[in-house]
Amino acid sequence: MVKISGTEYTKTELLKRVGDMSQLALVKAVEYGDGKEKGVRTLQFHTGSGLEFSVVVDRAMDIFDAKFCGTSLCWHSPTGVTAPAYYDAHDLGWLWSMPGGLLVTCGMQHAGPPEEDELEERGLHGRVSNIPASSVSYGADWEGEEYMLWASGQVREGKPFGPNLLLRRTVHALLGQSKIWIKDIVENQGFEPAPLMMLYHCNMGFPLVDQDSELIGVMNTVTPRDKAASKGLQQFDHFGEPVTPYAEQVFFIDHDADENGVVNVALVNRKFRDNQGLGIALAYPKHQMPEYTEWKMMGEGTYVVGMEPGNCRPEGQNLARKRNALVMLQPRETAVFQLEITILTDNNDIRLFESKLRGLDR
């Protein structure tokens, strides 16, 4: 059954009512045509529930635009969607082509600040988000009584005399549902162990992020990254108005998982639209991504909350090695990462989510 505008329909009942399913939901290929974004390929998803989002094929199949019933859910950087040709791999050059949006993938070999050692120079947050996908396919079709929208592609990060990692990414959604599923499979196709640092940089923005927003989850420990974060530790899960100057605050959070080993965490704004409420929830297996980072940036123009699960902290290879925390992927070994992004459409959804956190899933 598929729910459209509050009413449930079977596949047959829906097909009787439309000339083509694109009337209700679709995946559409679009290519940008101007400025630094010229030529960038995207896939626009419309789920029929009010959720719309774009998968940027030429940026590792990351997700840029994301809206629910016309309301933006995420923060956009001043750079906008920028073609990979403009990527600067040195030092902080990554920022000049970082578009923001719902998902920016950091990795695959490095996530964190710039660093250099006897092996190489590594720029901020690695290369992967500036690599175009290949072998791309997409579509929409029935699977039993569900209508699925999907896209898949491959992203390779490799070089001679160095690592050779292949990311196979699939993004899908369902007609009538306000949820995005992302599944990544990373394979080491080289013949030496390779560092694997995967961080899912989800950038929540106004009006979801506002002075009444809060982060909710089952949290065991919250560790500030530095002195700036230590000053804001008591308010790590609440957010204020944009100010200047503002020093970013970063917190490492250990979340408790549910009975299935899944972490559930949400950013919610209960006062959105005359107290109707709005939120975004992330769900992911903790054994795949044991680390969670909160990036709290309340600056004017850079007013964003990063929800960042990963198999690592954004600390770089060198510090991860010192902590004996750097994951190494063996030759021909694969690692799987799964992330669900769910829109909490109103305060009733938020209350149901909180009940789930308390183990009272009604």
Indicate yes or no: pTM above 0.85.
yes
Query: Judging by DSSP bridges, how do beta strands 26-31 and 7-9 pair with one another?
Result: unpaired
Supply φ then ψ for residue 58, to 5 degrees. -85, 5
Q: Residue 362 pLDDT more than 70?
A: no
Q: Which pLDDT value is given to residue 255?
A: 96
pLDDT tens by residue, 4-50: 988 999 999 999 999 999 999 999 999 999 999 999 999 999 999 99
pLDDT tens by residue, 345-360: 999 999 999 998 977 4
Query: Judging by DSSP bridges, how do beta strands 115-116 and 121-122 pair with one another?
Result: antiparallel
Q: Which pLDDT value is given to residue 119?
A: 84
Q: Which pLDDT value is given to residue 270?
A: 97
Positive or negative, the CA dihedral 293, 203, 185, 216 is positive
pLDDT tens by residue, 61-113: 999 999 999 999 999 999 999 999 999 999 999 999 999 999 999 999 999 99
Is the separation of the CB atoms in 169 and 184 below 8 Å? yes
The 3-state DSSP composition of the chain as helix, strand, coil percent (nearest 5) reads: 15, 45, 40
Report the percentage of the chain scoring pLDDT > 70: 99
Q: Which pLDDT value is given to residue 173?
A: 98
Instruction: Output the CATH code of domain 2-357.
Output: 2.70.98.10
- Across the range 105-125, mean pLDDT stands at 95
Report the percentage of the chain scoring pLDDT > 90: 96
Q: Where are the domains of the chain?
A: 2-357
How would you label 115-137 residue by residue, b for 16+ Cβ within 10 Å and e otherwise? beeeeeebbbbbbbbbbbbeebe
Q: Residue 361 pLDDT more than 70?
A: no
Q: Which pLDDT value is given to residue 360?
A: 45
pLDDT tens by residue, 282-341: 999 999 999 999 999 999 999 999 999 999 999 999 999 999 999 999 999 999 999 999
Q: Which pLDDT value is given to residue 358?
A: 79
Diameter of the chain measured on Cα atoms:
65
